[in-house]
């Protein structure tokens, strides 16, 4: 549950302290369970989703902030006896000192809290296939996990029915089509990590990378996989020249080339090639989510008004400047598949 939900605060109440200031303290009485939502855990969601013949083995492994590895042996034993392991890791959301994610719960490192990554590694070393589920309120630095774990589900804080939703994705009853609304950095030294940077500095210089690491993020803005694949083709810009009050109309054909029906999010980025003020290398200006059956093809129409191309010039005036613009269509801010150009005139 998110840090602003009732479940994250139900065990606490505001009371005046000796100085008269209000502070959060644990309730002396038992929490009113009538008001408490019925939260479906991921373990419960998995148990509900599988057949009666399927044996679900559970081991805690460790807590969110644990520094002890005492529970690892039980987790390793469980993994060795299983056909596949689902390792659920992440944050505990809320405002209290024992929470690791939420308002005022900032961190100076973005690795998984405690010894959770060590737990994943211990289970991975058993040789049993691993699926990793993240229950998180922030992106992580997880280079080793991304390189070694073949399947990662980023569930964020999925809410009281989240256990069923995660199980649907794990067992293929639902084909996910989510895209990241932010970037996952490789490490903290890359921060701030964002896709719409200026065409200068570390993220875009001739040497590209840092002395001791990559400049590109681990997972970029707009990234997200599904159980099927999509082909992008036939980019058509209806008018390659528009006025400062005009609208750019773009069409592109999307085809489901896989064996499962699913969603794709078509993303349109724009770059102002020459401007009086340095502009970002790309900016998301339009997107469209479409659902396609295997082999099905649809033409997606996207529109960008000239007003969306405005920016504040050196005099802090919001203007649409005439000139050439680049159009980029793709699956993410990095995975650009089609490009074209248009001009704003007048």
CA 4 to each of CA 103, 167, 177: distance values in angstroms, whole numbers, following the listed order: 9, 24, 26
Q: Both 120 and 262 in a single domain?
A: no
Q: Point out the least confidently predicted range of 59-68, 98-107, 124-133, 156-165.
A: 98-107
Q: For residues 248 and 326, what is the distance between their CA atoms, to the nearest angstrom?
A: 12
Tell me if 189 is assigned to some domain: no
Find the mean pLDDT for residues 292-301.
97
CATH of the domain at 49: 3.40.50.1700
Tell me if 219 is assigned to some domain: no
Which of 170, 197, 220 is the C-terminal boundary of a domain? Answer: 170
- Residue 170 is encoded by which pair of tokens? 């794990």
Q: Both 147 and 50 in a single domain?
A: yes
Q: Both 166 and 289 in a single domain?
A: no
Tell me if 107 is assigned to some domain: yes
Residue partners of 271: CB distance under 8 A and separation at least 6: 279, 280, 281, 282, 283, 325, 326, 328
| Distance in angstroms between the alpha carbons of the first and the last residue of the chain | 52
- How high does pLDDT run on average in the chain? 91
Q: Both 25 and 130 in a single domain?
A: yes
Tell me if 269 is assigned to some domain: yes
pLDDT in the model for residue 204: 62
pLDDT in the model for residue 12: 67
Q: Both 20 and 154 in a single domain?
A: yes
pLDDT in the model for residue 302: 97
The answer on pLDDT for 201 being more than 80 is: no
pLDDT in the model for residue 268: 98
CATH of the domain at 317: 2.60.40.10
Q: For residues 214 and 190, what is the distance between their CA atoms, to the nearest angstrom?
A: 9
Q: Both 149 and 18 in a single domain?
A: yes
pLDDT in the model for residue 7: 73
Which of 119, 137, 170 is the C-terminal boundary of a domain? Answer: 170
Q: For residues 311 and 316, what is the distance between their CA atoms, to the nearest angstrom?
A: 9
Pairing of strands 323-330, 262-272: antiparallel
The answer on pLDDT for 112 being more than 90 is: yes
Q: Both 165 and 253 in a single domain?
A: no
Going 4 to 10 to 12 to 13, the CA torsion angle's sign is: positive
Q: Point out the least confidently predicted range of 34-38, 100-104, 250-254.
A: 34-38
Find the mean pLDDT for residues 136-145.
95
Q: For residues 306 and 215, what is the distance between their CA atoms, to the nearest angstrom?
A: 32
Tell me if 213 is assigned to some domain: no
Q: For residues 178 and 156, what is the distance between their CA atoms, to the nearest angstrom?
A: 11
- 11-57 residue pLDDT tens: 666 677 778 776 766 665 554 555 566 889 999 999 999 999 999 99
Q: Both 152 and 15 in a single domain?
A: yes
Burial of 115 (0-12, 13-18, 19+ CB in 10 A): buried
Highest mean pLDDT among 1-5, 32-36, 191-195, 200-204: 191-195
- 298-331 residue pLDDT tens: 999 999 999 999 999 999 999 999 999 999 999 9
Q: Both 29 and 162 in a single domain?
A: yes
Model confidence band, residue 215 (pLDDT cutoffs 50, 70, 90): confident
Residue pointed to by tokens 């490789």: 186
Which of 118, 137, 170 is the C-terminal boundary of a domain? Answer: 170
> Do the beta carbons of residue 258 and residue 229 sit within 8 Å?
yes
Q: Both 158 and 17 in a single domain?
A: yes
CA 159 to each of CA 6, 7, 90: distance values in angstroms, whole numbers, following the listed order: 11, 10, 14
pLDDT in the model for residue 132: 98
Domain, as residue range, for 287: 230-345
Q: Both 155 and 14 in a single domain?
A: yes
Q: Both 238 and 147 in a single domain?
A: no
Domain count of the fold of the chain = 2
Tell me if 165 is assigned to some domain: yes
pLDDT in the model for residue 63: 94
Q: Point out the least confidently predicted range of 166-175, 207-216, 253-262.
A: 207-216
Q: For residues 178 and 268, what is the distance between their CA atoms, to the nearest angstrom?
A: 16
Q: State the DSSP string of 145-191.
A: HHHH-SEEEE--S--TTHHHHHHHHHTTSS------SS-B-SSGGG-
Tell me if 112 is assigned to some domain: yes
Q: Point out the least confidently predicted range of 6-15, 74-83, 110-119.
A: 6-15
> Do the beta carbons of residue 72 and residue 126 sit within 8 Å?
no
Q: For residues 79 and 124, what is the distance between their CA atoms, to the nearest angstrom?
A: 9
- 271-290 residue pLDDT tens: 999 999 999 999 999 999 99
The answer on pLDDT for 207 being more than 90 is: no
The percent of residues in the chain predicted with pLDDT above 70, rounded, is: 92
- Residue 184 is encoded by which pair of tokens? 């996952």
Pairing of strands 130-135, 151-154: parallel
Tell me if 188 is assigned to some domain: no
């Amino acid at each position: 549950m998110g840090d602003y939900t009732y479940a994250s605060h139900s065990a606490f109440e505001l009371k005046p302290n000796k100085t008269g200031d209000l502070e959060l303290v644990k309730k002396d009485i038992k929490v009113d369970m009538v008001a408490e939502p019925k939260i479906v855990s991921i373990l419960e969601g998995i148990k509900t989703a599988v057949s009666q013949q399927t044996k679900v083995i559970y081991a805690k492994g460790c807590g969110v902030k644990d520094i002890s590895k005492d529970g690892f042996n039980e987790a390793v034993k469980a993994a060795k006896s299983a056909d596949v392991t689902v390792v659920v890791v992440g944050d505990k959301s809320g405002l209290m000192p024992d929470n690791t994610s939420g308002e005022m719960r900032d961190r100076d490192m973005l690795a998984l809290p405690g010894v959770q990554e060590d737990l994943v590694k211990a289970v991975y070393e058993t040789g049993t296939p691993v699926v990793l589920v993240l229950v998180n309120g922030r992106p992580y630095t997880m280079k080793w996990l991304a390189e070694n774990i073949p399947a990662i589900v980023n569930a964020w804080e999925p809410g009281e029915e989240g256990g069923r939703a995660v199980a649907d994705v794990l067992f293929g009853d639902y084909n996910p089509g989510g895209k990241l609304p932010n970037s996952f950095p490789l490490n903290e030294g890359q921060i701030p990590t964002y896709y719409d940077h200026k065409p200068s500095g570390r993220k875009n210089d001739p040497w590209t990378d840092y002395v001791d690491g990559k400049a590109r993020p681990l997972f970029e803005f707009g990234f997200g996989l599904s159980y099927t694949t999509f082909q992008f083709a036939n980019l058509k810009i209806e008018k390659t020249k528009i006025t400062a009050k005009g609208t750019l109309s773009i069409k592109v054909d999307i085809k489901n080339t896989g064996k499962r029906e699913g969603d794709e999010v078509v993303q349109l980025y724009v770059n102002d090639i020459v401007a009086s003020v340095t502009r970002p290398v790309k900016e998301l200006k339009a997107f469209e989510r479409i659902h396609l059956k295997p082999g099905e093809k649809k033409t997606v129409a996207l529109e960008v008004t000239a007003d969306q191309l405005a920016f504040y010039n050196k005099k802090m005036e919001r203007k649409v400047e005439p000139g050439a613009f680049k159009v980029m269509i793709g699956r993410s801010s990095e995975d650009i598949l089609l490009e074209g150009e248009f001009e704003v005139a007048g």
